[in-house]
Amino acid sequence: MGIIHWRLPIDLGVRYGGDEFAVVLIDSDKGMAEQVAQSIETGLRSDPNEPALRVSIGIGIYPWDGRAVAELIEAADRRLYKSKRAENRRAFPVAGGILHSKRAGR
């Protein structure tokens, strides 16, 4: 399934920083966010025309993780770095809003 397939017209995917991206899912819950994260991760790692990617994902859910954008980003960052720590102990964990990826060998 391609990355575009999960998008609704009101969802937003943007580059957040150097190699970080944010995906904003409107009217979504944790389960949907985790499904989208899994779809993104699978799509990025399985493209036979591109080098292998390492993907770490963190989710921030409104209003449970915060009501302000900064609070949601902070929650997603905490989960992202938790995922990265787990990734160093095992191969490709699945967590679930901010997407961090690096092309292998760069």
d(Cα 75, Cα 77) in Å, to the nearest integer? Answer: 5
pLDDT in tens, 6-51: 567 778 888 888 888 888 888 888 999 999 888 888 887 787 887 7
CA angle 68-57-97, nearest 5°? 30
State the pTM of this model.
0.69
Q: Is 61 in contact with 30 (CB distance < 8 Å)?
A: yes
Give the homologous superfamily in CATH for domain 3-103.
Answer: Reverse transcriptase/Diguanylate cyclase domain (3.30.70.270)
pLDDT in tens, 64-103: 999 999 999 999 999 999 988 887 765 444 444 444 444 4
Q: Where along the chain do its domains lie? A: 3-103
d(Cα 76, Cα 46) in Å, to the nearest integer? Answer: 24
